[in-house]
Structure 1
Amino acid sequence: MKATGIVRRIDDLGRVVIPKEIRRTLRIKEGTPLEIFTDREGEVILKKYSPIGELSIFAKEYVEALAQTTGMMACITDHDQVVAASGHGSREYEGKGISRELDRVIAEREMKCYYGEEKGKIALVENQKENKAGLIIQPIICAGDAIGSVALVGKSNGERPGNSEKMLVQTAAGFLGRQMEQ
């Protein structure tokens, strides 16, 4: 555990403020769900809650099927990291933090398609090497909230995903959103 040197007091309603610097670093915004744990030494641990993380085994199987079907790399993310990835180059993505641009796309709740060297193309993960292949991103919506995304990344420069790949990504995101509601 990393010491920050910041001390906060609990108010009369049992609340404690998480310092702005920590919220910014961990991308904790108003409404971000947190899990609360305690350990034997009396420590209270706050962890960002990821509903998609609970489906990680299922998500891994789903991206493997998407990658096999399309021949492209497939990723499923939550608001923080790539939960599951499969296909050529997936090792560079799995478990990595998502980029701020991808977080913005998730918040916008609309499918985005990027082709080749198009301006405005985004990185899926932080510090990603430049990729000139096509990219499709579909946010996962659960109970009205955008909770993550499904993405397909082309395997070669200039590869343009077609309508069938767009439909597969939409279907995957819709299915995962409904699974989370159950």
Structure 2
Amino acid sequence: MKATGIVRKIDNLGRVVIPKEIRKEMKINNGNTLEIFVDQDDSVILKKYSPVEELDRLEDYIDTLIETTECNVMITDTDKVVAGSKEMERYAKRPVGHGVKQAMENRNTEIIETATEANICEGCNKHDKCELGSVLISPIIKQGDVLGAIILSSENRALGDYESKIAETSSKIFSKQLGL
């Protein structure tokens, strides 16, 4: 744990303001949920909470999506790739890219016909060949809040209505499984 040198008072309602610099660095936005931990030495620790990471049997969902759609699969929260099919393991824990952020902001299922890795994840080396083929992104929404996305990709064929319906249905199932 590193010290920031910032000190804040708790107000009469028990609130404390997280400084803008820390919120920006940690990508904490209005409406984000924080998990509170108490350490043995009386430290209070705030951690961004990802309900998508808490899903039980995430691998079973991924396997079912692979069997049903014959696509590669990734599951994200609002910040990073949480899990994926074997072919997508290299993306685990990487920040989501602009294509995923755009789909989550628009709250719509979107298809990118010739997606690059940068559409899906940040941190792609621009000199690498990073084409993923056709990619479908379906946001996971619960009670009006975007919690993540289901991503399907295929290098062999264009994705369409069938895959959209499967991804949207899966997103709705996920949202019912997520606690908040």
Q: Considering the TM-score relative to the shorter chain, is it more than 0.5?
A: yes
Tell me the TM-score normalised to structure 2 length. Answer: 0.85
Give the deviation of 1:70 after TM superposition: 2.7
For residues 69-84 of structure 1, the aligned pairs below 5 Å read 69-84=68-83
Contact map agreement 1:73 1:155 (CA 8 A) in 2:
no
The percent of aligned pairs where both chains have the same amino acid is 37
1:29 aligns with 29
Contact map agreement 1:139 1:146 (CA 8 A) in 2:
yes
| Secondary structure of residue in 2 paired with 1:123 | helix
Alpha-carbon distance in structure 1 between the residues aligned to 2:65 and 2:2: 38
- Regions of 4+ moved over 4 Å: none
Structure in which a larger fraction of residues adopt strand: 2
Q: Which residue type is aligned with residue 20 of structure 1?
A: K
Tell me the TM-score normalised to structure 1 length. Answer: 0.84
| Secondary structure of residue in 1 paired with 2:114 | coil
**Structure 1 residues without counterparts, runs of 5 or longer:** none
Identify if the C-alpha distance between structure 1 residues 14 and 23 changes in structure 2 by more than 3 Å, giving closer, same or farther.
same
1:123 aligns with 119
Give the deviation of 1:122 after TM superposition: 5.6
Give the deviation of 1:83 after TM superposition: 1.7
Identify if the C-alpha distance between structure 1 residues 175 and 2 changes in structure 2 by more than 3 Å, giving closer, same or farther.
same
Contact map agreement 2:138 2:149 (CA 8 A) in 1:
yes
1:19 aligns with 19
Q: Please give the root-mean-square deviation of Cα atoms over the aligned residues, in Å.
A: 2.3
Alpha-carbon distance in structure 2 between the residues aligned to 1:24 and 1:98: 16
Give the deviation of 1:133 after TM superposition: 0.7
| Secondary structure of residue in 2 paired with 1:127 | coil
Identify if the C-alpha distance between structure 1 residues 155 and 101 changes in structure 2 by more than 3 Å, giving closer, same or farther.
closer
For residues 114-153 of structure 1, the aligned pairs below 5 Å read 114-116=112-114, 123-128=119-124, 130-153=130-153
For residues 44-59 of structure 1, the aligned pairs below 5 Å read 44-55=44-55, 57-59=56-58
Q: How many residues align?
A: 176
